[in-house]
Amino acid sequence: MARIDFVNAGHSYSGISDNIADYALQPMNHSWDDGKKYALLGPSGCGKTTLLNIISGLVRPSDGRVLFDDRDVTDIPTAKRNIAQVFQFPVIYNIMTVYNNLAFPLRCRKLPRPEIDIKVREVAELLNLTSHLSRPGFGLTADAKQLISLGRGLVRNDVAAIMLDEPLTVVDPHLKWQLRRKLKEVNNTYKMTMILVTHDQNEALTFADKVVLMKDGQIVQVGTPQELFENPKHTFTGYFIGSPAMNFMPCRLENNAVMVGNNQIPLPGLEACKTLPQGKLELGIRPEFLRLAQKASLDTIEVHVCDVRDLGNYNVATVVMGDHKLKVKVPISQSLPSDKGYLSFPPQWTKLYHEEKLVEISC
């Protein structure tokens, strides 16, 4: 197991270039801590597979270095990097028994038979595969096969990291959560570095200690799922994480206050923003954090309620404030105003963005 470092590592499929647009993965410095679960999340074409392939050695970065525990592995081939990989579709030896599938990587490394047996049984027990050990691989369900793929990585003591490339795609929806739980348990037991690649936010957020959100070949934000939800550092995080997405409105600063159209939104700590250079300013707040009341009170803004969707366990109201439409998520138990409502922006959840990046203000 290892800590993995990117030192200014990036990749352009057309070789080193001055044009940043040529880079599928822009040169970056990033560390993957030993024993943590990471998810690489982003829309297709964001560079997450390139990143994964650089770690596993399938792609040699055009720029920078890759280190495993401070050892430079940039030019070391995949086979010598001790990376285990679970692919989108199960890759197992169908004619071998489950036992032999799990034992295979250890036999290749010529471990003594008793040692192999102990390890295989231990991993099979953890993955609930014990009762399957003597049966052949074919005819097993997709989730059992994926567990075997995972198990082949787990039996080895020398694995630097386990890479999982959309491993739950083929798994039946109602079995997914069981497999996710298994992955968490495995990580707790073996403390292995695991890196999951996915375009599915639910999968990433459920699996990872740290989510690495990517867009256009760059890392947009790294954080725990809760951090990404509660404190998006980039407007893209606010848009991509969460459903419905975060509300954003263009705004301006006037006399230490945030103005959206003619409405003033209270936000303490704005003194820090005096030094902000010119550029696009936006105010962002998640639908969960806006408050919509039937009566006016201090700091509320009158809005027009133009649509309410009853989604069973909560309502989503669309309100018009000046020129902007905002979404507000309201618990089903709370009564909603019809037509005219009063909106408030709790300061701790109200975020200011300059050129799409969060302005850090303390309040």
Residues making contact with another protein (CB under 8 A)? 43-44, 177, 180-181, 184-185, 188, 199-202, 205-206, 224-226, 228-230, 239-240, 242-245, 286-288, 305-315, 317, 329-336, 338
C-beta of 202 vs 256, nearer to another protein: 202
Tell me how far, at minimum, the Cβ of 44 lies from another protein, in Å.
8
C-beta of 34 vs 288, nearer to another protein: 288
C-beta of 122 vs 307, nearer to another protein: 307
Tell me how far, at minimum, the Cβ of 305 lies from another protein, in Å.
8
Nearest to 12 by CA among 49, 65, 62, 75: 62
Report how far residue 145's alpha carbon sits from residue 69's, in angstroms, rounded to the nearest whole number.
31
Tell me how far, at minimum, the Cβ of 172 lies from another protein, in Å.
9
Report CA Rg, the chain: 25
Tell me how far, at minimum, the Cβ of 359 lies from another protein, in Å.
22
C-beta of 43 vs 250, nearer to another protein: 43
Residues whose CB is less than 8 angstroms from the CB of residue 149 and which lie 6 or more positions away in sequence, other chains included? 86, 87, 90, 91, 92, 167
Tell me how far, at minimum, the Cβ of 88 lies from another protein, in Å.
15
C-beta of 43 vs 322, nearer to another protein: 43
Tell me how far, at minimum, the Cβ of 105 lies from another protein, in Å.
27
Report how far residue 144's alpha carbon sits from residue 163's, in angstroms, rounded to the nearest whole number.
18
C-beta of 278 vs 313, nearer to another protein: 313
C-beta of 31 vs 202, nearer to another protein: 202
- Long-range (24+ apart) CB contacts under 8 A made by 105-111 are 105/152, 105/153, 105/155, 105/156, 106/155, 106/156, 109/156, 109/158
Report how far residue 344's alpha carbon sits from residue 217's, in angstroms, rounded to the nearest whole number.
37
Q: Residues 37, 42, 45, CA angle at the centre, nearest 5°?
A: 130
Report how far residue 330's alpha carbon sits from residue 290's, in angstroms, rounded to the nearest whole number.
9
Tell me how far, at minimum, the Cβ of 170 lies from another protein, in Å.
14
Report how far residue 196's alpha carbon sits from residue 179's, in angstroms, rounded to the nearest whole number.
13
- Residue 102's CB is within 10 A of a number of other CB atoms, namely 26
Report how far residue 85's alpha carbon sits from residue 153's, in angstroms, rounded to the nearest whole number.
7
